[in-house]
Amino acid sequence: MAEADSSDVEDGGMATHVLQEFLLGDVEVCGRELGVGSYSSVLEMKYKGMRCAGKKIHRSLYDQGAAVGPEILERYEKECELLSHLRHPCIVQFLGLYLDDGEDVPILMMEYLSCALSDCIDMHGVLASEISYTILHDVALGLRYLHDHAPPIIHRDLTANNILLSSSMRAKISDLGMAKILNLAPAQMTHRMTVCPGTISYMPPEALIAEPLYDTKLDCFSYGVLMLHMFCGEWPIALEYLQPDTTHPGRYVPLTEIERRDKYLRSIGHTHPLMPLIRRCLRNLPAERPGVAEILNELSTMVSRYPPVFGNHVEMLERMHHDEAEIDQLRLEVDQLRKLLHEKEHEVENLRFTTAGEIETLREQIVCLENSRVLQEAQVLELQSESKRMQLSVREMERELAEARSRIEQLSEELEAATSSAQEQGQESLTRLRRLQNELTSSSKEREAVLKKLAKGHLEATVKHVFKNTAADDLAKNYDEFFLNKADDIADQLKMAPGVSDFDAHQMVCDMVQQSYNHCRTVLAGGSQSSSGPSLPL
């Protein structure tokens, strides 16, 4: 006995990606082999003390190097997925998965059933009519559940090997490893699938061709072969599809499915109540075969003609078995709910821890937001106050601007008046300046004439004095002495005239004395002399 632990699943094993939520604990492998198939064996097991069956895939099919490993694993995985979603009294009840120590492929746990229909036929041959009809009725009920499923499910391997019987001889369909889900609309209930997906003797002709196209009528054909098997008491192995033509040697003629199984039909007898149904199920064309609803209707009629199998005792056993199955199912569901509840409690605890941190973070964020809101409100009030101040300032500036404009206009008028007055005054000043210039020019000429006259008088007096008292040879000497004594006096007298500077006076005296001197020398050199002296060229 071992507890299943998903952590024990190796990477790459099928349990890593198939229905880990269905892994069971408290499982005991009893070791007794209940049956062996082509790709799996069925072991007797116990789940929480309840007897059950476990389907274990052959290790040789999935060990490294096995060519068919992936295909078999895919079938096994498909069966697990299908059974986990199916709930019907005529479908073998799926309990869960168990992963044994050291294994990487889980064991499929199912309800325990006594034996397979094929084993019962092999041991007892043809069963009693009431038992056969009850079994066929149960199979039809399970088949209708599959075909009415959304989307429809084709079993594709409906044989006596895959019909399991309870102790009360009630039948349940098993081994859905070959089943196929039709993901198509009702108007398109045909689908290209695998060639010969199941047991060849149970397969219709459309499943034996390349790129087969078939639908739920495939199971209806297999159901007809199952009726042959039950009412003949042996496997209905069909003849070859082509048979020699007795009328034309060397030629072959094809046989219909009914002709290929004529031997078994004759052994049943044409008077058998279900012979018309069997023959219609074995039609070559799927459209000519009855649907599962029609099959179930005829089987219901046949079952109603017979008393219940094993009388009231069987009914009681059936009810007990049904109750036990319901109890087992409820136990499984309770365990799954407990597991789910534990997971949810763990999630809630994690969520509570996470939520507490998030709430604290949110509280801090709320405080920050509240502080930010208060700060923003204060800023808004400050901005409003500043806006009012700015509005008042703008109004004051507008008032000052208006006053400035008024002042500018006033100043402009004053400037214009001042400019006009200045222009008039400038014109008057210009006129007066010109008059003054004229007067100054006239005054300068008069002054120059006066100065020249004054200087001439002084110089003439000087020359007369020189000529009167000095010989010509001593002229220069006497002239210089006189000039040195009188020049400054003459210059002082000249400076007394308006507008004459010191420099101008001395320069004028020097120029006049030089001219006078030169003139005197010229006169003396020529021998011309008078008592009054020479006249000056000033």
Please compute, for residue 145, the number of CA atoms within 13 A of its CA located in the half-sphere on the CB side: 18
Closest CA to 501 of 442, 446, 447: 447
Q: Please state the residue numbers annotated as binding site.
A: 55
Question: Residue 240: which residues within 8 A CB-CB, separation 6 or more?
Answer: 255, 260
pLDDT tens column, 404-449? 999 999 998 989 888 888 888 888 888 888 888 888 777 777 776 7
State the pLDDT at residue 138: 94
State the pLDDT at residue 179: 65
- pLDDT tier at 189 (50, 70, 90 boundaries)? very low
Annotated domain spans of the chain: 1-112, 115-309, 450-526
Looking at residues 382-404, what average pLDDT do you find?
A: 91
Strands 180-181 and 50-57: unpaired
Of 316 and 26, the one with more pLDDT: 26
153 burial level (CB within 10 Å; 0-12, 13-18, 19+): buried
Helix, coil or strand: residue 180: strand
The answer to whether 292 and 143 have CB atoms below 8 angstroms apart is: yes
The answer to whether 39 and 58 have CB atoms below 8 angstroms apart is: yes
- pLDDT tier at 86 (50, 70, 90 boundaries)? confident
pLDDT tens column, 23-72? 888 888 887 777 777 677 888 889 888 889 888 877 776 665 555 566 66
Of 90 and 516, the one with more pLDDT: 90
- pLDDT tier at 294 (50, 70, 90 boundaries)? very high
Choose the weakest-confidence range: 105-109, 147-151, 296-300.
105-109
CATH number given to 1-112: 3.30.200.20
Of 194 and 252, the one with more pLDDT: 252
pLDDT tens column, 199-231? 788 888 887 776 677 788 999 999 999 999 999
* % of the chain surpassing 90 pLDDT: 22
Q: How far apart are CA 300 and CA 212, in angstroms?
A: 32
Q: H or E element: which one contains 191? A: strand 191-192
Q: Is the pLDDT of residue 527 over 60?
A: no
CATH top-level class of 115-309: mainly alpha
Q: Is the pLDDT of residue 538 over 50?
A: no
Q: Please state the residue numbers annotated as binding site for ATP.
A: 55
Q: How far apart are CA 346 and CA 339, in angstroms?
A: 11
Phi/psi at 104 (5° precision): -115, 0
Choose the weakest-confidence range: 81-85, 179-183, 270-274, 492-496.
179-183
Q: How far apart are CA 494 and CA 509, in angstroms?
A: 9
Can you point out the beta strands (E) in 205-327? 213-214, 242-244, 252-254
Q: Is the pLDDT of residue 144 over 90?
A: yes
pLDDT tens column, 4-24? 444 443 444 454 455 577 788
Looking at residues 159-165, what average pLDDT do you find?
A: 93
The answer to whether 92 and 174 have CB atoms below 8 angstroms apart is: yes
The answer to whether 214 and 191 have CB atoms below 8 angstroms apart is: yes
Q: How far apart are the first and last CA of the chain?
A: 162
Alpha carbon of residue 136 to chain centroid? 56
Which two structure tokens, joined as six digits, stand for 87? Answer: 């709930």
Amino acid type, 25: G
